[in-house]
Amino acid sequence: MFILVPTLNVVGQNTPSLWKHTCNCGGMNMITIDDNGNSYVFNDGQNGAALPTVLKLSPTGSQKFNNNYLPSGYLSMEFNNVIYKNGRIYIAGNVSNSTDLNRLCLTTVDTLGNMINQLVVDSIQINPLSGIESAPFYSYGFKIDQFENLHVAFSKNDQSFNKYYCFLKFDLAYNLLASFTDSLGLNTIPGPCTYQNDGTVYYSYSGNIVKLNNSYSSIDWMAPLNNQFMDARKIRSTSNSNIYILTAQLSGVQDPTYTLVKIQDNGLSYANIYDSLIATSPGLEFTQMLVDDSSNSVYHAGYNTSSFPYRRYVVKQDGLTGSIEWRDSSFDGQFINALLLSAQNNLVAIGGGTDYYVWLYNSLGTVDAIIRYDGPCGANDNITAARFDPNEKLIVTGSSCENASSINWGTTLKYNIPTITTSIPESSGRDITIYPTPAVNEIKLNTQEQILDLTAFDILGNFTKISFTDEKNIDVSFLSAGVYLLQVNTATGLFYSKLLISK
């Protein structure tokens, strides 16, 4: 049986936006949106801004304020994470002076930009987070639970370089309610953590997943990963007590190996449900993970640098079984920095590297449309954060080149999201068909496009370049029997994805 996969619909450079806001203040690294559709974007304090500031943008893109919140006695500040709730913006960060470095700082502001409250914990020097989560940068976790308690997680060292994983719980006025510290030992690297709505914490280190109860009084259980060489890269919990862990094995194997581990929380005990292989490939790095509890779907995204241009890499797994539902490995040299779900429950991947990019995936795993923005001076542009507003408009923010004399501008844009379809498009002069199917020794491509290269991906994500001199007679006799995704790169800049069955 021949299955046709929809072709890639590419929207060209500088896709029309509803509005654009720029400032020569460094790249934007965080965003939150209030109930009225106002956006609050956080800049990193470079290129003309002495300190990081918070900008408020109206639903039409006009700037309402641009404020910094440096506490007295400190010289520098960095924003790490943000939550909007009930008319207040809660910000986690760190502040430094000549003697006190990276002190934990919590700040609350209202929607007019007025600072409501601020707390600097002078006794806590927190460590930068490296290689596990893209944001927050210094705080490992930041959550307001269903009881309106604020949770903050981070790591710290003592003078002997012993590592500690620390958890603090405050009320919304920053009164400390509870704390817990786990001593990890020398040079142990803490992994990511996640919270349930009742304040229960799941965190990881050294191949272990740990459950801390919501009163911060004790550890309920510790679950070792099945492979001692595996480290947790992402961890997410769901309302039905499932814990999903994206793990990576980088030592003891020829190529990086990634798996999805699912654990069922049974209260004071746990059950390992599965350890499912996602992919193993040279140069592979997964940086994002999203769990859709309503459809039992788990998404991973990253990139692969084993070839040039390197590939963005997106995988969808069935959360019930761990099986791979679809995989996209497209050669475009871009990074993916965030994953969101649209109102239609379709995956939206956001990032860039050369331009701002938004990839919209349909349920078959192909890109139905791309939103793309290229800064005027043509240098590197990259979205770092994005949110949907109350009207399901997409707000993206990051760093772009708006002026060649100062290339790192903060640029925020607002877009309508195109409707995602799963229908098979009607054939046009630019479409491609493959025959015969199944293929035995060779295939033919019926197209008016000029083909630049062909790549076949198996179900594990391993790829094989297919050499050819004539689109009418392409040798595939060397492929093992199975199902492949054939990626077709054309001279017009379009990519096509087709299923290829070899026997």
- 241 or 415, which is more confident: 415
Answer yes or no: is pLDDT of 3 > 60: no
Regarding whether 164 and 81 lie in a shared domain, the answer is yes
- Least confident piece of the model among 62-76, 130-144, 227-241, 357-371: 130-144
Could you tell me which of 26, 85, 13, 14 has the C-alpha nearest to residue 413?
Answer: 14
Q: What is the pLDDT of residue 11?
A: 57
Listed residues 415, 446, 462: the one ending a domain: 415
Same domain assignment for residues 328 and 454? no
The CA radius of gyration of the chain, in Å to the nearest whole number, is 24
Question: At 314, is the pLDDT very low, low, confident or very high (cuts 50, 70, 90)?
Answer: very high
Q: How many CB atoms lie within 10 A of CB 224?
A: 12
Q: What is the pLDDT of residues 258-293, one digit of tens each?
A: 999 999 999 999 999 999 999 888 889 998 999 998
Asked whether the predicted pLDDT for residue 9 surpasses 60, the reply is no
Res 132: pLDDT: 34
One domain, residues 398 and 484: no
Which residues are CB-neighbours of 175 under 8 A, at least 6 positions away?
A: none
Which residue did the predictor score with more confidence, 319 or 4? 319
Query: pLDDT band for position 425 (50/70/90)?
Result: very low
Same domain, 492 and 440: yes
Secondary structure in 3-state letters for 5-63: CCCCCCCCCCCCCCEEEEECCCCEEEEEECCCCCEEEEECCCCCCCCCCEEEECCCCCE
pTM (predicted TM-score): 0.82
Question: Is the domain of 450 the same as that of 337?
Answer: no
CATH code where residue 439 lies: 2.60.40
Do 464 and 408 lie in a common domain?
Answer: no
Highest-scoring range by mean pLDDT, 3-17, 187-201, 317-331, 348-362: 348-362
| Tens-digit pLDDT profile for residues 203-246 | 998 889 999 999 999 999 999 987 767 788 899 999 888 999 99
Q: For residues 143 and 127, give the distance between their C-alpha atoms in angstroms, rounded to a whole number.
A: 19
Q: Higher confidence at residue 423 or residue 320?
A: 320
Split at pLDDT 50, 70, 90, the class of 331 is: confident
* 240 C-beta neighbours (distance < 10 Å), count: 9
CA atoms within 13 A on the CB side of 2: 10
pLDDT band for position 90 (50/70/90)? very high
Is residue 88's pLDDT more than 60? Answer: yes
* Domain housing 451: 433-502
Number of structural domains found in the chain: 2
Query: Domain end: 415, 448, 482, which one?
Result: 415
Q: Which residue has the higher pLDDT, 10 or 392?
A: 392
C-beta of residue 369 within 8 angstroms of C-beta of residue 15: no
Ramachandran category for residue 285: left, alpha or beta (phi over 0 → left; psi -120 to 50 → alpha): beta
- The torsion of the CA quartet 375, 413, 136, 65, rounded to 10 degrees, works out to 110
Q: What is the mean pLDDT of residues 362-391?
A: 90
| pLDDT of 12 | 63
Per residue in 101-160, pLDDT (tens digit) is 888 899 999 999 999 999 998 766 665 433 333 333 345 789 999 999 999 998 887 777
Mean predicted lDDT score pLDDT of the chain:
85
Q: Does the residue 87 lie in any domain? A: yes
Q: What pLDDT score was predicted for residue 254?
A: 82
In which band, very low, low, confident or very high, does the pLDDT at 99 lie, cut at 50, 70 and 90? confident
Does one domain contain both 458 and 356? no
Q: How many CB atoms are closer than 10 A to CB 250?
A: 13
Question: What pairs with residue 265 in β-bridges?
Answer: 270
